[in-house]
C-alpha cells in the first residue's frame, strides 16, 4: 500500500466523511483558500491549522502528521544533482528542482536542503549566465570589459567555484552538518 501524503490524507478523510472543501473549511474555522492549498500539496498544515483540521475531521492530530522517511542517500543525490550543469545548461536548477518537488514531503531534510540548493544555484546561474551574456555582447560589439580570454577564465573559475561548493556541501552532508548553502538570494522560501 502506498503511503499517502498529508494533503492526500486530508482530502481522502474529507471525502470519506462526505464533506465539501467549503464545509470542512467552515467546520475547521480556516480559510477556504488555505484548505485548497493544503489539499493541493502547496502548503503543509502546522500548529493550530493542523489541530483545527483534525478536530473538524474527528481524528487525532497524530494521524494527520506525515511520517518522513530518513534517507541521507537522497540528500546526497539531491546535492550532487546540481553538478548536472556540466552536462546541460540549467541542469543545476532543473534536476534538483525535480527531485525536490517529488520528495519534499516524503523524505526528512529534502524540503530545507532543496530550498537552499535551489536558491544558491539560481543565484549562481544568474551571475554566470549574466556574465556569459556580457561576454557575447562584447564579442558582437567589439567592446570588451576585459580581454575575451580573461573573461573566459573568469567563467571557468565560476564553474569550478560551483563544483567546489557542491562537493564541500556533499562532505558536510556525509558528516551530518546542517549548515550548508548559506549564500545565495532567498528566492524560494
Which domains, and CATH codes, for the chain?
Answer: 6-64 (1.10.260.40), 72-175 (no CATH)
- The grid coordinates of residue 73 equal 542517500
18-45: per-residue pLDDT in tens? 889 999 999 999 999 999 999 888 888 8
Looking at residue 69, the DSSP 8-state letter turns out to be: B
More confident residue, 128 or 65: 128
Q: Residues 6 or more apart from 91 whose CB is under 8 A from it?
A: 84, 85
Lowest mean pLDDT among 6-10, 64-68, 93-97: 64-68
8 A C-beta contact, residue 78 and residue 113: yes
Amino acid at each position: 500500500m502506498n503511503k499517502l501524503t498529508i494533503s492526500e490524507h486530508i482530502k481522502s478523510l474529507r471525502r470519506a466523511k462526505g464533506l465539501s472543501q467549503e464545509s470542512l473549511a467552515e467546520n475547521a474555522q480556516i480559510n477556504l483558500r488555505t484548505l485548497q492549498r493544503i489539499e493541493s500539496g502547496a502548503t503543509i498544515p502546522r500548529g493550530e491549522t493542523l489541530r483545527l483540521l483534525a478536530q473538524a475531521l474527528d481524528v487525532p492530530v497524530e494521524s494527520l502528521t506525515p511520517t518522513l522517511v530518513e534517507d541521507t542517500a537522497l540528500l546526497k543525490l539531491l546535492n550532487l544533482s546540481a553538478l548536472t550543469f556540466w552536462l546541460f545548461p540549467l541542469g543545476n536548477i532543473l534536476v534538483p528542482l525535480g527531485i525536490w518537488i517529488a520528495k519534499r514531503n516524503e523524505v526528512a531534510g529534502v524540503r530545507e536542503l532543496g530550498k537552499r540548493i535551489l536558491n544558491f544555484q539560481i543565484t549562481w546561474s544568474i551571475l554566470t549566465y549574466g556574465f556569459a551574456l556580457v561576454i557575447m555582447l562584447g564579442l558582437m560589439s567589439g567592446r570588451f570589459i576585459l580581454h575575451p580570454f580573461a573573461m573566459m577564465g573568469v567563467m571557468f573559475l565560476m564553474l569550478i567555484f560551483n563544483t567546489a561548493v557542491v562537493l564541500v556541501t556533499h562532505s558536510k552532508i556525509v558528516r551530518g552538518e546542517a549548515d550548508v548553502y548559506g549564500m545565495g538570494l532567498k528566492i524560494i522560501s
